[in-house]
Every structure is written in structure tokens, then in C-alpha cells.
Amino acid sequence: MDVSQYLSVFLDEAKEHLQSLNDNIMTLEQDPENEDCINEIFRSAHSMKGMAGTMGYTRMQNLTHDMEDVFSDVRGGKIKIKSADIDVLLQCLDAIQGYVDNITENQDEGTDEHQNIIKALADIRNGVTGGDGGDAAEAAPAAEAPAAGGASSADGASDYKAIKLDPSVKSTLEEAVSQGKKLYGVTVHIQESCILKAARGFLVFKGLEEIGEIAVSDPSTQDIEDEKFDYSFSLILITDESKEKVEEIVKAVSEVEGCECGEFDLGSAKTTEDKEEAPAAPAAEAAPAPATQAPAPAAASKQAPAPAAGAAGGKKPVGKPVVNRTVRVDIEKLDVLMNLVSELIIAKNSLISAANTSGVSNGNVNEQIEYLESVTTNLHESVMKVRMVPIESVLQKFPRMIRDLNKTLGKKMELTMTGEETEMDRTVVDEIGDPLMHLIRNSADHGIESAEIRAQRGKPEVGQIFLHAFQDGNSVVIEVGDDGNGIDAEAVKNKAIEKGVVTPDQAALLTEKQCVELLFHPGFSTAKQVSEISGRGVGLDVVKSKVESLSGEVTVRTKLGEGSTWVIRLPLTLAIIQALMVIIGEEKYAIPLDSIQSIEDVSPADIKFVENKEVINLRGSVLPLIRLNEVLDTESKRNPDEDMVVVIARKGDQQVGLVIDELMGQQEIVIKPLGKYTNKCKLISGATILGDGEIALILDTNSIF
Amino acid sequence: MNELRDNSDVGELIQFIVIKIDDEQYGINIKYIDNIVRMQQITRVPKVDDYLKGVINIRGEIVPVMSVRMKMGLAEDEITGKSRIIILKTGEGDLVGIIVDQVNQVLTLDTNNIEKVRYDDKKGSGQAKFVGGVGHYDGGLVSILDLDAVVSEKEVKEKTSNAS
């Protein structure tokens, strides 16, 4: 399992836990009976054990495990913490800190077992205290040294003999030899007091390039220029000059401590390379970047950490430390930031409307406003991105779930997921887990057929369930599907009639698609028998309402016998959207642009009636017409004989024509909640403040369908 | 807002804003008042209870506004130059506005001079159930508005019968 991506999170949390342990143990020293403290320590130790175990740091896991045991006993009232024990506990923390430091530097916890501390902890549990603590105190720092050595052992002085040759470099060298040129391996050591290592390296390169050609260097030229090396580097030079001349040039550069120079033997280089192939691989895992280039010392130091520690102890650790590039921020702070951005956008809108009404629309003002507009839009996007997290965290539990379902259902199936890295707003990610789980379970339970039926239908034995997530414009789409049975529209229809969801007369009029949509009706389940996994009649309607509460929509595509796919479409952001501003009666409303397909002028003469309801025929498809002024209890100001302005809204594949009075234009709006008294109206999803301070309500077109 | 009825023994001084609704004077404990604003354009929200007049914009926040008159079962507000919207802070930190006919004065009352109206006594209909207590002061009596009752979402049943 590749856990490297979680390393920064692990380190962040480990540091937090260590801090909390430190604080709490200190408090405990003052107040040994403090139960809150003891519980907190227990929890922290427990979490750290789990984290270390997951990351594969077994030594750290063992130590934290023993610590947890001690506090488990303390909690159970079996033992009491005495002041002498505090020392042992603090040493234990230091040892854990040592592991964490090692991991920070080279992603390896080091080799020290801290047996003495483990023993001391065991003694606490057995009620022996005092003397041992002191022992451990002395032993701990001593024991830590080799661990640190192990950490930095890969440092190994750079050595030209260890330079690995690419085939292309090798052929260059071979060609040079065949032309009678000489190959020198040079290892340059720079004084540790040197401040501008890169500059010295550059001077060495420059000097040597005057007399020949540098075929290869270790580290690479780029890394040397970026100071990504310790105090020595190696290179291979192709030249006609003598070895002495080479040494002279290198030593002429100030702050060079010394250099080793020798003829580079292509033949032996070849064998070195072959030999190193094997040890290089494991070493590379431990400390990727630098260790690959100096594998020999690294491998050696693993077998004999102590001497290596002596040799390399004083030097800087080689691995580029895993620098903590993340800042964990409370989501509330981000909410505040997002609100401020919203305010800024409102202020910008006010400025635009003020400039328009006061007539100061000279070119310069407009230019500046446009600039402001692009800044606020970018700012909004950046803040939005900060709030986004990959949906991976939600998807992780699904493979395991499918494995368990394989057993409980006795079906063979496989889950494939793509797009785990797709990012969404944190709040959406937190909410979307359950709906997705419902859909996957649904696919497993109802979708995938039993092995016999699959065989009859000529499908592969193992059923496929898939989950694809991807970004599509301003929304994120998550598709969950299977290659199973598909949805039998007839069966759904019959079931719906049986359950009283629709009357037989109504059912007769339903299209196949509408039948399938009945599945989302509350209290509906087609499972012939209620199973443990799904089929309690809660599920799809819950999925639907959850997704809709996140301003998203869910639809289904299905083909009987071939499988079905559920498509969830969610907006990228919930707070700021593009909207079409319209006037109905004397009131202003905002319609989210996402849900609008087109805007049409329709003559009243084109209105047809189907079942006493107004419809229009728009390019071959018949869609219902809804007069928004009626829905919103207001008077239309438009002359009924005039052409109507109709906004065509869509939801999935359905369309509806919304009759409005007037169009105002497109605007970026900030969604504000309506507050608890006025949110009863399903048609209104929120409100927004316009440039002039006026409030416009936001229409939730989804609720009109 | 229950504290309104609780701190009587102490003899603490509390400031009230005295407002007029219909012909009656009511006191509102100043600590529940966020702001008092002039009448402004209220954006109607469709499909809500009649007494909810709509929403207004208070410093960038959307605040619902309700008519106390309609809630009390009185005739609809007559908006005059003296009409004000009092923005109240509810228990959960939300804001809600109530329309009043007039804001008269600020009154400081000693809690000892406030007579509580026990809950049982409030079973009566109309305005009575919105009164949490009666305050005595030099100039006479003032009803203390029970804000919990005013901003609660319960529908007022006897709307028509008591309209006077």
C-alpha cells in the first residue's frame, strides 16, 4: 500500500498528538488524578498507535501501544501515576518525537527499538517505579544517536566511482575513449563553512569545461545550481589534459576543501552499475531522491548503522526533509473568508450599478471596474479551490464494502473507480458519502444478477460495478453503475400501482423514462424480498433529497438486461453562482444559469392545450408552460397579446417553459439563506442582494418540475 | 429570552424601548434589540404565512420581517412616517424584524417594579398572550412584550375573531 501521499497528514497529526501528550502529561504531573487528562492521553496514544500502524512504522506503533496500555490501566484504576513515572512517560514522548523527526527527514522511522523505555513502561504497569526511570533517561539519548545516524547515513560522501551511467552517457564516454581522450572522475569537497556552495560548484564546472567536456555529474548540474547537494559532488570529465591539471583547476576555486581525481575506468563502471542494481531498489524506497545516486554507502549503513553514524553524524542529513507544505485550517475560517469574498462581490455589483446610474461611465471608470471584476472573480475561484478536497476520502471505503457484499450476497463483483482526485467543496464531500453508498449497494443488490443468470446471458462471471467522478464545466458528475440487470420499467410500474404511488390510469400514460423515475418516489422498493443491504424503501428517495439539498440532481440511464447508470450532478460551489435576472410582475428574481437551456420569444397564438394545461412546441418537443407570476402569486405587467418571454429550464432530460415578464441580464450573485421563517417556500432557494441593496429571491427551478 | 421573567429578586435596572402597536404601549428589553430602522422596501416572499411581510437587507444580511399587528390578530399595518422596523436578536443568533407603529422612548425600570404575568394567565387570546409582564413607572403602566411569543412560528388562530 502506497501511503506516501498521507505522509504530510500523518506528520501533521503526529505533531499535534505529541503536543497534546506533552501538555497533558505535564498537567498530570501537577494533578495525577485528573481524569480528563488521562482520557485525553489515552486517546492520543491510541490514535498515534493506529496512525503509525497504518503507515507501517512498527517501532513507533509498539512504543505507543505500550504507552496506551499504561494509560488503559490507569483509566481502569489498576495503577496510579506517580511523579517518577512522569519522567519515563516524557522520555517515551522524546523517543516518539525521535521517530517522527526521522520520518520527517527521510520517511523512515529509524531502527531504535527503545527497549529500555518499553521495559520502563512495563514496570509502571507492574507497579515498579523509580530506579528504572533514571536508567531509561540515560539510555534514551544514547540510543537515539544511532537512529539519527541511520537516518542520515545515506548522506555518504559523494564518490565519482559510484556515479551511475545512463546508456547514452556511456556511449558518449566510449566514443571519447575511442578518440583517444582521457576520462577523469573527479569528486570535489567544498568546505562546510561555505555559504555559496552553488557558486563554487559553478566555478568548478566552468574551469573544467575550459579544458574538456563534463559528461555527467552527480548530483545533476541543475541540482548543483539549486544547491541541492551537501558538501561534495562528483563528475566525469572528458579531456586531453593531465590529471594534475584537472586537480589544479579544481583547487584554484576558493573554499574547495579538496578533490579526489582519478582515471575513470569505463570497464569497472559497468560492473559497478550492474552490482548496484539490486541494493539500489530498496534504498530508493527509503530515501528516494538522493539515495539512488549514492546507493553503496546507503546499503552499507543499513547493516552497520553505528559506524555510519560516527562518520556521517556531524553532517547534514541527506534526504530532503519532507517539508510541511500544508496548513490545516478550521473550515469556519474558510467560511468567514468565503463570506468576505461574497461581500466583496456584492460591493463590486453595487459599484457597477452606482457607476451606471450616476452616469460617470467614462472609459477609465469602466476599465477599472472591469479590472475589479476580474480580480474578484479570480479571488472567488481561489478561495473556492482552497475549500475543495478530493472526493477520494469518501470513496476509500467502497472497495472494502464491495468485498464484504461479495460475501453477504454470494455474488461475484468488482468495483472500479476513476476520478478519485476530482475535487469538490468540503461541505459537499462530507455529505455525498451516504448517497453514493446507497447507489453502490443498490447496484450490488439489485443490479448485478446471480452467477447463473449472468452465465445464461453470456456475461462474464464477475459483475462490474463502476464509479466515475469527473468535472464537467461548473459541476462535478459522479456516475455509479453496473453491468447487471438494468431496470425493468414494467416491473416498476406494476409495483408503483401496487403500492398506490400511481393509479393504473396514471400509470398507463407514463413513458418508460417516467416509470423509472418512480424509483425515486418515497417509500418505494422493487426488491422482491427485503434484504439486509437495500430494499427497505429508504434509499433512492433519500439519495434524491440529499443530492437536491446540495443543489444537485440525480438521474438514471438504464437498459434492461445490460445495466444501469446513476448520474449525480453537483454544483462546484454553493455560495456564488451565475444567474439570469428576470422581472416578474414588479419583482426581481434570479434564476441559476446552470438550469437554463435557452430563452425564447413565444407568441400567445402558439400556446396549445394538453389536458387543459398550456404547452408549447419548441423545435419538435412539447413542453409544459408555467406562468411564474401565477406560481409566485403576483400580477403580470405584460400585455397578454404580446409575445411572451419564456425561459426554458431543464432538469435532466426534462424541459419546462417559464413565462416571465422581462429579462434584466446575467449577473454573478451571492446566495444568502432566507432564514428560518421564510424558508418554507420550496420555490425559493435563497436570496441575493443586488447592486443597489435591493433583495432578489432565487428561484429553484428544480422544484417546479 | 426566559431571563426576562427570572431576575426579579435582584432589583436590577433594565432599559426598555417603548413602542406603540395599535393603541397600546409595549416595552422591549433593550438587550434583545439589534437595531431600529426606518420603514423600507420589503421584498415579498411568496407562499409564506400572511404575517411574514418579507425580507429586508440589514448590512448584507437577509432578515425576515413580520407584522406584530397581524400576528396579534389586529388590522393590517398602516405604514406612516413613524413606522419603524425593530431588528431583534433571537436566541439562536438569527435576526428578525418586527414592524411597529411608532417608537416612543427609552424607559429604565427596576425589576422589582415589573410584575410578571404567569404563563397560566396567558391562555387568553389576542394581544394578551404576547405580554410577558407589566412594568410600573411614574407615567403609568407598560406591557412588556414577550418576544418568544412574538417571534415563534406558531400560527395565530383567533386572527379574525379578535380584530378590533
CB A251 within 8 A of CB A259: yes
Q: Grid coordinates in use for A158? A: 559523494
Residue A664 located in a structural domain: yes
Find, among A619, A575, A564, A589, the residue nearest to A697 by Cα: A589
Q: Grid coordinates in use for A190? A: 567544498
Do A62 and A139 reside in the same domain of the chain?
yes
Q: Which residue has the higher pLDDT, A613 or A147?
A: A613
Calculate how close chain B gets to A610, using CA atoms only, in Å.
27
CB A297 within 8 A of CB A308: yes
Do A471 and A363 reside in the same domain of the chain?
no
Do A656 and A676 reside in the same domain of the chain?
yes
**Quick one: angle between helices A131-152 and A295-303, nearest 10?**
160
Tally the domains of chain A: 5
Which of A24, A40, A68, A702 is the catalytic position?
A68
Q: What is the pLDDT of residue B84?
A: 93
Residue A97 located in a structural domain: yes
Q: How far apart are CA B67 and CA B53, in angstroms?
A: 7
CB A455 within 8 A of CB A461: yes
CB A583 within 8 A of CB A628: no
Check if the interface score ipTM surpasses 0.90.
no
Residue in A closest to B40 by C-alpha: A694
Q: Is the peptide bond before A219 cis (omega within 30 degrees of 0)?
A: yes
pLDDT digits (tens, 9 = 90+) for B6-23: 444 557 888 999 998 888
Residue A316 located in a structural domain: no
Question: Do B43 and A672 make contact, defined as CB atoms within 8 angstroms?
Answer: no
A562 is catalytic: no
Residue in B closest to A345 by C-alpha: B60
Q: How far apart are CA B47 and CA A682, in angstroms?
A: 9
CB B17 within 8 A of CB B27: yes
Which of A442, A485, A629, A702 is the catalytic position?
A442
DSSP chain B: -GGGGTTTTTT-EEEEEEEEETTEEEEEEGGGEEEEEE--PPBP-TTS-TTEEEEEEETTEEEEEEEHHHHHT-PPP---TT-EEEEEEPTTS-EEEEEESEEEEEEEEEGGGEEEPPGGGGGS-GGGGGEEEEEEETTEEEEEE-HHHHH--PPPTTTTTT--
CB A629 within 8 A of CB A659: yes
Q: What is the pLDDT of residue A276?
A: 41
Question: Do A633 and B47 make contact, defined as CB atoms within 8 angstroms?
Answer: yes
User: At A582, is the pLDDT very low, low, confident or very high (cuts 50, 70, 90)?
Assistant: very high
Q: Which residue has the higher pLDDT, A31 or A579?
A: A579
Calculate how close chain B gets to A672, using CA atoms only, in Å.
7
A442 is catalytic: yes
User: At A179, is the pLDDT very low, low, confident or very high (cuts 50, 70, 90)?
Assistant: confident
C-alpha dihedral, A166 to A168 to A170 to A172, nearest 10°: -150
User: At A584, is the pLDDT very low, low, confident or very high (cuts 50, 70, 90)?
Assistant: very high
Q: What is the pLDDT of residue B65?
A: 92
Do A550 and A582 reside in the same domain of the chain?
no
pLDDT digits (tens, 9 = 90+) for A383-437: 888 888 888 888 877 887 888 788 788 888 888 999 888 888 888 888 888 888 8
- Is A295's pLDDT higher than 70? no
Q: What is the pLDDT of residue A216?
A: 80
Q: What is the pLDDT of residue A479?
A: 92
- Of the candidates A681, A693, A694, the beta carbon closest to that of B46 is on A681
Question: For residue A458, how far is the Cα from the chain centroid?
Answer: 39
How confident is the prediction for chain A on average, in pLDDT?
A: 77
Least confident stretch, A156-170, A404-418, A635-649: A156-170
- Is A501's pLDDT higher than 80? no
Q: What is the pLDDT of residue A590?
A: 94
Q: How far apart are CA A394 and CA A420, in angstroms?
A: 9
- Of the candidates A632, A675, A687, the beta carbon closest to that of B46 is on A632
Question: Do A675 and B64 make contact, defined as CB atoms within 8 angstroms?
Answer: yes
Residue A307 located in a structural domain: no
- Is A82's pLDDT higher than 60? yes
> Last residue of some domain: A346, A363, A386?
A386
Do A415 and A345 reside in the same domain of the chain?
no
Q: What is the pLDDT of residue B85?
A: 94
User: At A512, is the pLDDT very low, low, confident or very high (cuts 50, 70, 90)?
Assistant: confident
- Is A653's pLDDT higher than 50? yes
Calculate how close chain B gets to A627, using CA atoms only, in Å.
14
CB A659 within 8 A of CB A643: no
Q: What is the pLDDT of residue A269?
A: 54
Chain A residues within 8 angstroms (CB to CB) of chain B: 343, 346, 587, 631-634, 672-678, 680-684, 687, 689, 693-697
Do A122 and A256 reside in the same domain of the chain?
no
Q: How far apart are CA A347 and CA A689, in angstroms?
A: 10
Q: How many CA atoms lie within 13 Å of A399's alpha carbon, on the beta-carbon side?
A: 7
Q: Which residue has the higher pLDDT, A183 or B164?
A: A183
Chain A residues in contact with B61 (beta carbon < 8 A): 672
Query: Which SS3 state, helix, strand or coil, does residue A529 take?
Result: coil
Name A31's Cβ contacts closer than 8 Å, sequence gap at least 6: A37
Least confident stretch, A171-185, A505-519, A524-538, B61-75: A524-538
Question: Do B48 and A696 make contact, defined as CB atoms within 8 angstroms?
Answer: no
Q: What is the pLDDT of residue A467?
A: 92
> Last residue of some domain: A366, A386, A406?
A386
Backbone angles phi, psi at A141, to 5 degrees: -60, -40
Q: What CATH number has the domain bearing residue A72?
A: 1.20.120.160
User: At A8, is the pLDDT very low, low, confident or very high (cuts 50, 70, 90)?
Assistant: confident
pLDDT digits (tens, 9 = 90+) for A334-356: 888 888 888 888 888 888 888 87
Best residue of A336, A349, A632, A678 to probe chain B, by most B CBs closer than 10 Å: A678
Q: Grid coordinates in use for A493? A: 410500474
Provide the number of CB pairs (under 8 Å) joining chain A to chain B.
69
Q: How far apart are CA A25 and CA A96, in angstroms?
A: 14
Name B1's Cβ contacts closer than 8 Å, sequence gap at least 6: B32, B91, B146, B147, B148
CA dihedral sign of residues A574, A578, A579, A581: positive
pLDDT digits (tens, 9 = 90+) for A436-487: 888 888 888 888 888 888 888 888 888 889 999 988 777 789 999 888 888 8
Q: What is the pLDDT of residue A274?
A: 42
Q: Grid coordinates in use for A270? A: 559497468
pLDDT digits (tens, 9 = 90+) for A111-154: 777 888 888 888 888 875 444 433 433 433 433 434 333 333 33
Do A115 and A68 reside in the same domain of the chain?
yes
Which of A22, A29, A34, A46 is the catalytic position?
A46
Do A567 and A582 reside in the same domain of the chain?
no
Please name the residue that has the C-alpha cell 400572511: B50
Chain B residues within 8 angstroms (CB to CB) of chain A: 41, 43-49, 52, 54-57, 60-64, 66, 94-96, 153
Residue A586 located in a structural domain: yes
DSSP A552-586: -EEEEEEETTTEEEEEEEEES-SSEEEEEEEEETT
Chain B residues in contact with A680 (beta carbon < 8 A): 47-49
Q: What is the pLDDT of residue B153?
A: 62
Question: Which range of residues forms the domain containing residue A102?
Answer: 4-152
Residue A357 located in a structural domain: yes
User: At A76, is the pLDDT very low, low, confident or very high (cuts 50, 70, 90)?
Assistant: confident
Do A399 and A547 reside in the same domain of the chain?
yes
- Is B1's pLDDT higher than 60? no
Q: What CATH number has the domain bearing residue A694?
A: 2.40.50.180
Q: What CATH number has the domain bearing residue A212?
A: 3.30.70.1110
Residue A512 located in a structural domain: no
Amino acid at A324: N
Query: Which SS3 state, helix, strand or coil, does residue A101 take?
Result: helix
What are the structural domains, with CATH classification, of chain B? 2-151 (2.40.50.180)
Least confident stretch, A40-54, A289-303, A317-331: A289-303
Please name the residue that has the C-alpha cell 462471471: A461
- Of the candidates A343, A634, A674, the beta carbon closest to that of B55 is on A674
Query: What number of residues does chain A have?
Result: 705
> Last residue of some domain: A346, A369, A386?
A386
Do A287 and A344 reside in the same domain of the chain?
no
Do A539 and A419 reside in the same domain of the chain?
yes
Do A434 and A379 reside in the same domain of the chain?
no
Q: What is the pLDDT of residue A291?
A: 39
Ramachandran sector of residue B45 (left: φ over 0; alpha: ψ -120 to 50; beta: rest): beta
Please compute Rg for chain B using Cα positions. 15
Q: What is the pLDDT of residue A88?
A: 83
Residue A518 located in a structural domain: no
pLDDT digits (tens, 9 = 90+) for A27-74: 787 787 788 888 888 888 888 887 887 777 888 888 888 888 888 888
A356 is catalytic: no
Q: What CATH number has the domain bearing residue A534?
A: 3.30.565.10
